[in-house]
């Protein structure tokens, strides 16, 4: 009978093995697929590209811009009111065409926040009624628009936007590590369901054999009706367990294949290969903190937030009063023909200074400055707390990681011991030296220790990828996950 039971168990695993030959994936396979083709990875790639073009747009704000402005010939036909010398008003018809074209080059001044531009303009007016033409041309015109004591957006952007872009590049790597972590969780969800189904089928085969044995013992009077019913109940529970495990496997498989972007994964056979030996590597706490400070996007964000708080204070102070200087110099000429309008041009000069100084604003300007200063102080306190929490998170995760490694080893040994105990208890039951209650206890412990081992593996690998995300450093291969560009 013992030999028969072992043959049934072996056949059960052979059936499972053969049915899952289509696609076998390891943990690293699942993670690579998630990084390359998952919807989450594609979203992060799109965000990365968006941030890149936003940075390109920022840089273009400091470059000169060449523009062409114009009005196509506009036609006007109406009656114009005209008062004669004797006071009589007459309405005379008029028919006119007018057009203009301007070519300009504009350069922002990052140091002062102003702009300087060079422009050339051609204006044409034609009276169709009297068949006359007029041209008013500006050969060139140099203009300067300069705020005095005003807020310089270009100066502050030059400090904050490179940090924002660098932050975004590091955030992309962190998000990819978060994808690895999420893929690991889904991997172990499905692996657990896969093992649960194997356990359920294994237990069903064993309980079916045990039921036949118990029924034979009952028929010859060596077992009670109560023991037979207990074994039958165990058999029914095993069947229910197979049904539930099959459903859980389908559900977790769908979540996994959808996340990693596996086309047709829900309809194909899929088997996950369980991680075996844990890799040997150390995670020194001091190095983890150093890598985190050097590589994490959060530390770039801390510096950027400080600058942005200072920028808002500067903005509030500049709003107390505003002064703008506008100056221009050029050569201008009008004539009845296009060529005449460019001969012997005249100087064209303009200078004006505009002021805005509130005499009585009931403390609004002062309030804006004080609010900005308070926000700056709050930002500094928040950043100090954020840095402290950040370092505490690294310390906690590094300390927890070593505990998780030890737990995996203990769980693995417990799984092996529980399996051996069950085999011994089963053999003693088959020869009549153990009762069904002890066998069920051993069976329950075997299943629990198997699941505990998988749970420990899951916690270990999830923590590993979380540490990679926190430090942007691969302690296993001893390499940086993000390289700072020159």
Q: How far is CA 315 from CA 61, 285, 320, 354, 424, in A?
A: 19, 42, 9, 19, 79
What pLDDT score does 3 carry? Answer: 35
What pLDDT score does 362 carry? Answer: 74
Enumerate helices (H) and strands (E) in the chain, giving the number of each: 9, 10
Count Cβ atoms below 10 Å from residue 229 Cβ, excluding itself.
12
Phi, psi of 411 (to 5 degrees): -65, -40
Query: Under 8 Å CB-to-CB from 208, ≥6 apart: which residues?
Result: 8, 235, 238
What pLDDT score does 18 carry? Answer: 35
Fold of 2-56+157-307+376-480: Outer membrane efflux proteins (OEP) (1.20.1600)
Q: Is the separation of the CB atoms in 331 and 138 below 8 Å? A: yes
6-15: list long-range contacts, CB under 8 Å, 24+ apart.
Answer: 8/205, 8/206, 8/208, 8/209, 9/202, 9/205, 9/206, 11/205, 12/201, 12/202, 12/205, 13/198, 13/202, 15/201
Query: What stretches in the chain show pLDDT beneath 50?
Result: 1-21, 486
What pLDDT score does 15 carry? Answer: 34
Q: Considering only CA atoms, which of 108, 76, 113, 73 is closest in space to residue 94?
A: 76
SS3 138: strand
The token pair at 352 is 């004006």
Residue-by-residue DSSP string for 77-121: EEEEEEE-TTS-EEEEEEEEEEEEEEEEEEEEETTTTEEEEEEEE
Burial 194-227 (b: 16+ CB within 10 A, else e): bbbbbbbbbbbbbbbbbbebbeebbeeeebeeeb
What pLDDT score does 341 carry? Answer: 64
Domain ranges of the chain: 2-56+157-307+376-480, 65-109+114-151+323-357
Q: Is the separation of the CB atoms in 371 and 316 below 8 Å? A: yes
What pLDDT score does 407 carry? Answer: 92
Q: pLDDT tens digits for 239-284?
A: 998 999 899 999 999 999 999 988 765 567 888 888 877 888 888 8
Chain-centre distance for alpha carbon 484: 19
SS3 24: strand
Determine the Cα–Cα distance for residues 249 and 389; give it in Å rounded to an integer: 39
What pLDDT score does 185 carry? Answer: 94
pTM, rounded to two decimals: 0.77
Count Cβ atoms below 10 Å from residue 453 Cβ, excluding itself.
22
């Amino acid at each position: 009978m013992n030999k028969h039971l072992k043959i049934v168990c072996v056949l059960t695993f052979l059936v499972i093995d053969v049915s899952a030959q289509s696609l076998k994936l390891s943990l690293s396979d699942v993670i690579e697929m998630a990084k390359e083709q998952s919807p989450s990875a594609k979203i992060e790639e799109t965000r990365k590209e968006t941030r890149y073009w936003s940075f390109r747009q920022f840089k273009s704000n400091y470059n000169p811009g060449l523009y062409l402005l114009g009005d196509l010939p506009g036609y006007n036909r109406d009656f114009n009111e005209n008062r004669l010398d004797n006071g009589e008003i007459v309405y005379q018809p008029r028919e006119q065409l007018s057009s203009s074209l301007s070519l300009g080059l504009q350069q922002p001044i990052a140091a002062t926040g102003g702009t300087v531009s060079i422009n050339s303009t051609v204006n044409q007016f034609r009276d169709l009624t009297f068949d006359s033409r007029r041209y008013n041309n500006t050969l060139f015109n140099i203009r300067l628009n300069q705020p005095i004591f005003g807020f310089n957006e270009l100066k502050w952007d030059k400090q904050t936007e490179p940090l924002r872009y660098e932050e975004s590049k590091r955030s992309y790597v962190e998000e990819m590590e978060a994808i690895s972590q999420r893929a690991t969780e889904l991997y172990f969800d499905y692996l657990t369901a896969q093992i649960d189904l194997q356990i359920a089928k294994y237990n069903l085969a064993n309980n079916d054999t045990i039921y036949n044995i118990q029924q034979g013992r009952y028929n010859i009077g060596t077992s009670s009706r109560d023991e037979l019913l207990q074994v039958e109940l165990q058999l029914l529970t095993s069947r229910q367990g197979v049904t539930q495990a099959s459903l859980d496997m389908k559900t977790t498989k769908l979540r996994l294949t959808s996340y990693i972007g596996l086309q047709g994964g829900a309809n194909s056979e899929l088997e996950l290969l369980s991680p075996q030996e844990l890799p040997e590597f150390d995670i020194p706490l001091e190095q983890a903190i150093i890598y985190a400070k050097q590589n994490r996007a959060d530390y770039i964000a801390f510096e950027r937030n400080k600058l942005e708080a200072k920028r808002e204070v500067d903005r509030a102070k500049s709003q107390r009063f505003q002064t703008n200087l506008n100056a221009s110099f050029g050569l201008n000429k009008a004539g009845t023909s296009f060529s005449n309008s460019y001969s012997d041009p005249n100087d064209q000069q303009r200078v004006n200074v505009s002021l805005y100084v509130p005499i009585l604003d009931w403390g609004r300007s002062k309030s804006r400055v004080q609010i900005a200063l308070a926000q700056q102080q709050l930002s500094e306190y928040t950043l100090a707390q954020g840095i402290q929490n950040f370092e505490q998170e690294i310390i906690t995760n590094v300390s927890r990681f070593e505990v998780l490694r030890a737990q995996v080893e203990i769980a693995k040994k417990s799984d092996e011991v529980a399996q051996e105990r069950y085999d011994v208890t089963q053999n003693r039951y088959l020869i009549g030296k153990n009762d069904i209650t002890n066998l069920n206890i051993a069976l329950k412990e075997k299943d629990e220790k198997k699941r505990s081992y998988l749970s420990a593996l899951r916690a270990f690998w999830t923590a590993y990828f979380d540490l990679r995300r926190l430090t942007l450093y691969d302690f296993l291969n001893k390499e940086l996950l993000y390289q700072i560009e020159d």
